[in-house]
């Protein structure tokens, strides 16, 4: 499937975007709630303010993507690559980020309340002002490089 077709599907509200090629796509405020974007290539995509509520982004490439103010509540991002992504003010309440790569990600003022980040890599990530209440970090590599161990 080509990137033009995938972009048209995304903008038309088609929720079957598994493996879609959307690198550098402009998806500002796109409504992709409950979408299946498993394994999609969203490298450098602009998803500012996008609605990704409950979306399946397992294994997706979101490195360098802009997800500021995005709604990722209940989204699954297991094993997703979010290195260098901008998640400023994003709502990741109860999101599943198990094993995700968040190296150098900007999570300033993000809501991670109840999110699962077990085994995630957060080296160099900026969590300034982030709500991490009830978030699960067991086995995650934290911004300072230390592995988090639950007490």
Assess whether pLDDT exceeds 90 at residue 2.
no
Q: Are 49 and 31 in contact (CB under 8 A)?
A: no
User: Residues 37, 20: contact at Cβ < 8 Å?
Assistant: yes
Interval 54-66 mean pLDDT: 97
Q: Quick: pLDDT tens for 6-54.
A: 665 665 555 678 899 999 999 999 999 999 999 999 999 999 999 999 9
List the domain boundaries for the chain.
1-151
Distance CA 114, CA 41 (A): 27
8 Å CB contact between 55 and 40: no
pLDDT at 7: 61
- Between CA 134 and CA 12 the distance in angstroms is 36
Q: What is the pLDDT of residue 4?
A: 56
pLDDT tens-place string over residues 67-87: 999 999 999 999 999 999 999
Is 1-151 in CATH node 2.160.20.80?
A: yes
């Amino acid at each position: 499937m080509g990137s033009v077709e995938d972009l048209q599907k995304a903008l038309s509200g088609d929720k079957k975007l598994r493996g879609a090629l959307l690198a550098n796509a402009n998806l500002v405020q796109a409504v992709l709630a409950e979408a299946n974007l498993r394994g999609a290539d969203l490298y450098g995509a602009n998803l500012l303010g996008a609605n990704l509520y409950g979306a399946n982004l397992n294994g997706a490439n979101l490195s360098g993507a802009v997800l500021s103010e995005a709604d990722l509540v209940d989204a699954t991002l297991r094993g997703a690559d979010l290195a260098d992504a901008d998640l400023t003010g994003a709502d990741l309440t109860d999101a599943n980020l198990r094993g995700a790569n968040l190296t150098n990600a900007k999570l300033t003022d993000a809501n991670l309340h109840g999110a699962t980040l077990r085994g995630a890599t957060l080296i160099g990530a900026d969590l300034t002002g982030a709500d991490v209440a009830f978030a699960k970090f067991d086995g995650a590599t934290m911004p300072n490089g230390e592995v988090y161990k639950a007490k």
